[in-house]
Amino acid sequence: MQATIALLPGDGIGPEVVAEGVEVLKAVGERYGHSFSFSEGLIGGCAIDAHGTALPEATIDVCRAADAVLLGAVGGPKWDDPKAKVRPEQGLLGIRKTLGLYANLRPVTVTPALASRSPLRPDLVEGVDLLVVRELTGGIYFGDKTCVYIRPDEEQAVDTCVYTTSEIERVVRRACELARTRRGKVTSVDKANVLETSRLWRRVASRVVAEEFPEIQLEHILVDACAMHLLRRPADFDVIVTENMFGDILTDEASMLAGSLGLLPSASLGAGKAGLYEPIHGSAPDIAGKGIANPLATILSVALLLRYSLGLKAEAEAVEKAVYATIDAGILTGDLAPAGQGRSTKEVGAAVLERLG
């Protein structure tokens, strides 16, 4: 097949890890006879430096013209002032919203080789294989925001959390479709004992499952309880579906099950086939430019890209197998290797390519 992939390397370690992702895409293209072409755009801090905005129009055009987007990371100390009008994460939030990518998939799989790296007891995390589907274009992230003086010395800040029936329906539907290809279980997470948006969420989730997915086993749990159960019984979860802010917190918590952020990919999907793929980790300015960042989360994001946007299932599985074989062979960057034995970004990338053979 022919496909165009838009690359948004971004800031910090973004360019280094995206470079390894591109190598994997090229290798897959060669070995399986696909022709992938690449376009590139600026996003985040580097876009602010070049164009004064975190999401230039040209970047949006590049993404719209592509079959899928591979993103590195955005942000860094240079652009960190929360009072600034222009901030790197506006690029990330903007591209998600502009492309209508309402479903953010964050799988967490704990391989036996890595169970001992988790802060949790190995017996608890072994066999964990869960998928968080986070709503990505609604909720308190995108509602009205204000901050005004209501008296001298007294400011009042307001954020608004909004959800509509159809926003909830589509992401719950996506979660159920994914659960159908897995263990058939969906855990919907809300705070229905306090929030109106959560009460609507719970009603809509129940109805969608009852009407459209009678074979799915649905449970509702409160977000605070979920934060506990993720630690107490992580292997029980199959698909978790939740709203934007809860998903942000719970996925970062869940990422610790796998021991390192450096392994966790994500896919952000909308109505069509196009999607945006990015590692969960940030731009890690402290190690940027040193060639030691872990490229595996980005390479696993490439696997998701092959699967969800290009429909290349065998290729996706081959990439995932190559990554796990690399981990099993102990070829790891410093975040996962025993002290002093960390390999470089390029060495780990090359080890994956070798195993893709």
Which of 30, 224, 286, 317 is close enough to bind ligand IPM by CB under 6 A?
224
Q: How far is the CB of 224 from ligand IPM (least distance, A)?
A: 5
Q: How far is the CB of 12 from ligand IPM (least distance, A)?
A: 12
> Of the two residues 190 and 335, which places its CB atom closer to ligand IPM in the complex?
190
User: Which residue, among 104, 127, 352, has the nearest Cα to 258 in the 3D structure?
Assistant: 127
Angle, helices 89-98/57-64, rounded to nearest 10 degrees: 40
Residues between 227 and 256 with contacts to ligand IPM, criterion CB under 6 A: 248
Of 50-58, 158-166, 173-181, 313-321, the window that binds a copy of itself (rule: CB under 8 A) is 158-166
C-alpha to C-alpha distance for 11 and 44, rounded to whole angstroms: 7
Of 15-23, 85-93, 154-162, 229-237, the window that binds ligand IPM (rule: CB under 6 A) is 85-93
Q: Specify binding-site residues for Mg(2+).
A: 224, 248, 252
> Of the two residues 97 and 185, which places its CB atom closer to ligand IPM in the complex?
97
- For residue 104, the surrounding DSSP H or E stretch is strand 103-109
Which of 92, 133, 192, 336 is close enough to bind ligand IPM by CB under 6 A?
92
Take residue 179 and report the two structure tokens written for it. 């659960």
> Of the two residues 60 and 249, which places its CB atom closer to ligand IPM in the complex?
249
Q: How far is the CB of 313 from a copy of itself (least distance, A)?
A: 31
- Which residues are paired to 149 by β-bridges? 155
Task: Please report, for residues 37, 165, 301, the alpha-carbon distance to residue 34 in angstroms, rounded to integers and kept in the order given.
Answer: 10, 40, 18
C-alpha to C-alpha distance for 316 and 302, rounded to whole angstroms: 8
> Quick check: helix, strand or coil at residue 171?
helix
In the block, residue with structure tokens 């968080």 = 132
Per-residue interface string for the shown chain with a copy of itself, residues 60-99, x marking contact by CB under 8 A: ----------------------xx---x-x---x------
Beta strand extents in 247-312 (DSSP E only): 265-269, 275-279
Q: Judged by CB under 6 A, does residue 89 bind ligand IPM?
A: yes
Long-range pairs, 196-200, Cβ under 8 A, ≥24? 197/139, 197/161, 197/162, 197/163, 197/243, 198/243, 200/163, 200/165, 200/168
Which of 1, 65, 194, 271 is close enough to bind a copy of itself by CB under 8 A?
194
Give alpha helix (H) positions in 38-81.
Answer: 45-51, 57-64
Which of 194, 228, 271, 314 is close enough to bind ligand IPM by CB under 6 A?
194
Q: Specify binding-site residues.
A: 76-89, 96, 106, 134, 224, 248, 252, 282-294
DSSP secondary structure string for all residues of 174-237: HHHHHHHTTTSEEEEEE-TTT-HHHHHHHHHHHHHHHHH-TTSEEEEEEHHHHHHHHHHSGGG-
> Of the two residues 106 and 355, which places its CB atom closer to ligand IPM in the complex?
106
> Of the two residues 209 and 256, which places its CB atom closer to ligand IPM in the complex?
256
Q: How far is the CB of 93 from ligand IPM (least distance, A)?
A: 6
Q: Judged by CB under 8 A, does residue 212 bind a copy of itself?
A: no
Q: How far is the CB of 205 from a copy of itself (least distance, A)?
A: 12
List residues near a copy of itself by CB under 8 A: 82-83, 87, 89, 93, 119-121, 124, 140-141, 143, 145-147, 150, 153-166, 191-197, 199-203, 223-225, 227-228, 230-232, 245-246, 248-253, 255-256, 261
List interacting residues with ligand IPM (CB under 6 A): 89, 92-93, 193-194, 224, 248
